[in-house]
Structure 1
Amino acid sequence: MAEPKSDEQFMEDIAAEMRGDIEPEDGVVELQDAPSPELDALIAERDELKDRFIRSLADLENTRKRADRDRREAENYGGTKLARDLLPVYDNLQRALDSAKESDKEQSAALLEGVELTMRELINVFKKHGIEPIVPEVGDRFDPQQHQAMFEAPVPGTKAGDIIQVMAQGFMIQDRLLRPAQVGVSSTPAS
């Protein structure tokens, strides 16, 4: 007498039979020559169960793919909120370094060195987590995908849409915009 099959083995055998990978087990008699209402009901029930089984397998595969996609997205973009909260810290450190005058640099050398080291460490942490700065230069073209126009002004010697001032750097996290660079844009009409 054969050992009873586990539920998993039973389901695998059914799936293999449906795909046509294996023949039905011995002892299974196909009664195609003698149609009867009971046989028709059993065939209909089998077909319904087969359809439900195939749909369940498809749902399981879709759920696995969705969970995998969600996991990857959480890895890549999970720190977005924290990164946005740290951007003002970066801005304040940058302002502190920019505002130090030449005369102050001699008197506050140790303090400025500490601020610079803190700034470098923050930049290293950003890079480690896929956060890259957007650093536009004066004269570059305005890109609405990466820049936010804070003002427009006519400036001689420039074309409309040229960046005339950079107020704050922007940042990308992986391939998404974390914060646009804040810039001033020329509105000089074409000659």
Structure 2
Amino acid sequence: MAKENESDIEAAIEEMLKGDTSEADKVKRKPRVKSQEDDVFDLDNPGTSPLDDVDGPEGDDATVESHVTVDSAELEQLRAERDEYKDKFVRALADAENSRKRSERDRREAENYGGSKLSRDMLPVFDNLKRAVGSISDEQREANAALIEGIELTLRELLSVFQKHGIKMIAPEVGDKFDPNVHEAMFEAPVPGTKAGEIIQVTGEGFMLHDRLLRAAKVGVSSTPKG
């Protein structure tokens, strides 16, 4: 019985081997799956790469290049806009600084010279008080001591106010050199013992408002020729 079964099994195996396609042929003909170990560079041919098989068609490289070109153009545009805004910012900052300096200068000038017209109009008051004090005789001073003292006090107070607001007196003396910047020559005369251009008489004081001339001092100048 056992021998009959063995014969049947051998017969079945022979029948299977006679078939058109065997399991061995199927395994032999089955396409080989590419493994990760195959993804290596060929040292003999370094120009080839397994990544070349993965690349798409040639059009893909053109698309990537076009994207890179567009990105570079956008970057250049952004840089140009940055430089433009930077230039505008620097100009605005310079304009603001110039405006600040002009405002500061205008403020100083208004503070120092805003009252120049009033100061110039007050100079005749000084002249009249000075002439009044200078014309007082000794008899009048003794008879009206309180009145004269009040006039002299007013004159001193006026000079104090002038000094407080930057008004300085120009009081040249005889023998000083004539300066056309602060002196006004009322006359010229040859005076023995003097040199040409020397002040021989002072007829009126001048005044400066800080560094500006309010009124030149009135003087007489020697015109004595040399030798």
If the length of structure 2 is used for normalisation, what is the TM-score? 0.65
SS of the aligned residue for 1:35 comes to: helix
Give the match for residue 124 of structure 2: 88
CA gap of 1:42–1:162, structure 2 versus 1, over 3 A, is same
- Residue range with higher mean Cα deviation, 170-179 or 180-189: 170-179
CA gap of 1:147–1:32, structure 2 versus 1, over 3 A, is farther
Amino acid at match of 2:72: P
Deviation at 1:176, TM superposition (A): 2.1
Relative contact order (C-alpha < 8 Å, sep 6+): which is higher?
1
Amino acid at match of 1:170: G
SS of the aligned residue for 1:177 comes to: strand
Amino acid at match of 1:156: P
Give the match for residue 200 of structure 2: 164
What CA distance in whole angstroms lies between the structure 2 residues aligned with 1:40 and 1:33? 10
Give the match for residue 97 of structure 2: 61
SS of the aligned residue for 2:72 comes to: coil
What CA distance in whole angstroms lies between the structure 2 residues aligned with 1:83 and 1:60? 34
Structure with larger Rg: 2
Give the match for residue 35 of structure 1: 72
If the length of structure 1 is used for normalisation, what is the TM-score? 0.77
- Structure 1: stretches of 5+ with no match in the other structure: 1-30
What CA distance in whole angstroms lies between the structure 1 residues aligned with 2:139 and 2:197? 37
What CA distance in whole angstroms lies between the structure 1 residues aligned with 2:69 and 2:169? 71
What CA distance in whole angstroms lies between the structure 2 residues aligned with 1:116 and 1:32? 92
Give the match for residue 78 of structure 1: 114
Aligned residue pairs total 160
Amino acid at match of 2:187: F
Give the match for residue 86 of structure 2: 50
1:150-161 equivalences in 2 (<5 Å)? 150-161=186-197
Give the match for residue 61 of structure 2: none
Once the two structures are superposed, residues 54-82 of structure 1 have per-residue CA deviations (whole angstroms, 9 ceiling, x without a partner) of 10011111111111122122222222111
Give the match for residue 222 of structure 2: 186
What CA distance in whole angstroms lies between the structure 2 residues aligned with 1:45 and 1:52? 11
Which of 213, 216, 219 is the equivalent residue of 1:177? 213
- Report percent identity of matched pairs: 66
- Structure 2: stretches of 5+ with no match in the other structure: 1-67
Amino acid at match of 1:94: K
1:90-129 equivalences in 2 (<5 Å)? 90-129=126-165
Deviation at 1:33, TM superposition (A): 9.5
1:139 matches 2:153:
no
